A and B are shown apart, each in its own frame.
Chain A
Amino acid sequence: MSSKMVGSNNLAHARRMVQQLRVEASIERIKVSKASADLMRYCGENAKYDPLLMGIPASENPFKDKKPCTIL
């Protein structure tokens, strides 16, 4: 590979990097306070539907083996 080709590859790469950074710099950002509030609200609203958080009654747990009861 000639040094000229390597040089122009580096240039093309640098141009792409700058173009990408322009895209990323231009996005709209919301305030962290709003982002945090929304995360908290989502967790709060969905907590009651979260089986790993709330626990699962044995009778509703599809993974729990239903063993027959023996009276000793």
Chain B
Amino acid sequence: MGEMEQLRKEAESLKDEITAARKAVQDLTLQDHVAGTAVVGRVQLKTRKTLRGHLSKIYAVHWGDSKLCVSASQDGKLIVWDSYTTNKVHAIPLKSSWVMTCAYAPSGNMVACGGLDNMCSIYNLKGKDGNVKVMRELAAHTGYLSCCRFLNDNEIITSSGDCTCVLWDIETGSQKTVFAGHLGDCMSLGVAPDFNTFISGACDFTAKLWDIRDGQCRQTFGGHESDINAIGFFPNGNAVITGSDDASCKLYDLRSDQELITYQDSGIMCGVTSLAPSLSGRLILAGYDDFNCNIWDSLKAERVGVLSGHDNRVSCIGVTPDGMACCTGSWDSFLKIWN
């Protein structure tokens, strides 16, 4: 067909145009810039708390504030922890135990979770009688729920194995916007510090930046050689960090529209499952399939520390909003707080 061939040619030409435009702004590399900067000193964090209580693999953890966090395990429970005391504030039994993600609302009023049930369930923590109940079940995805993040008490963004992300109105339970474009399962998402955009990482090896209000994909970043499992914003919102099954993490700068640095080591051959930047962005903490968490100097791309202590895969990681500690969750059923 004439039009198909024309479109194919135009697509190739546009891809070449993007490659050329990216190259045109490469006046200096990040490596050139940081050549005169010293690597940060060895970072040695200790386990300060171990949160015990889950009976099976932990798949996700998310901080609500700098004290409370929520974790999800395939024992069919969401647990809200007071990380200072290790007390369980809430232990919420789930309808479906095949949970893959959880999230804490910024207000502290709600938590959400989802997984192989293809739904995102919202729980109200501040109900009148003190019981935690399901407030809403957001159903429309045709694949598993891999990640969810609240924008506020009435809006949440989800990513799914059906290759889409969705912005939901929690009150009405309806999809406000469907973000379609990925060619593989969406595995992870991160919301920008200014809440105007979000990023998604997928099994098509790309990361995409989306405008939350108009639903448009603004930028697509490639380079990884396998599924992207983890994604997060650099604290100033100008860069995105990804972690992949190809054993590397990458930093993509949004304003120059390209990859600036890769965090990899010939000694690391297993996939990255999770990542979180420290408060200043200088450190990137990344969880791996080999039961460890590596700490990277984000500017020099050198490993400056290791968190070892889990007896199985580190599946999730999060740094507190005040930057005081990081929490790792593992298939060994424990969460550890480090600083």
- Residues on A lying within 8 angstroms of B by beta carbon are 7, 10-11, 14-15, 17-18, 20-25, 27, 29-40, 42-43, 45-47, 49-53, 56, 61-64
Contacts and interface: CB of A to CB of B under 8 A. Distances in A.
Contacts of B337: 63
Q: Is the interface of A mostly helix, strand, loop or mixed?
A: helix
Interface residues on B, range: 35 or more
A21 B166 CA distance: 21
A3 B105 CA distance: 47
Interface string B9-53: 011001101100110111111101110010010010100110000
Interface in B269-297: 278-283, 285
Contacts of B14: 18, 21-22, 24-25
A36 B18 contact: no
B222 to A, nearest CB: 11
Which 3 residue pairs across A and B have the least CB separation, nearest first? A46-B280, A63-B48, A50-B280
Contacts of B219: 24, 27
B125 interface: no
A23 B210 CA distance: 12
Contact of B216 (A23, A25, A42): A23
Given A25-B18, A39-B239, A40-B34, A52 B11 contact: no
B131 to A, nearest CB: 29
Contacts of A21: 10-11, 14-15, 18
B194 interface: no
Interface in B232-260: 234-236, 238-239, 253, 255-258, 260
A48 B312 CA distance: 34
A52 B236 contact: no
A66 B258 CA distance: 47
A38 B28 CA distance: 13
B50 to A, nearest CB: 11
A52 B323 contact: yes
Interface centre among A23, A25, A39, A50 (most CB of B within 10 A): A39
7 contacts: A11-B4, A17-B7, A39-B253, A46-B279, A50-B323, A56-B339, A63-B83
A49 to B, nearest CB: 6
Nearest to A33: B28
Given A47-B280, A61-B339, A63-B325, A36 B33 contact: yes
A7 to B, nearest CB: 7
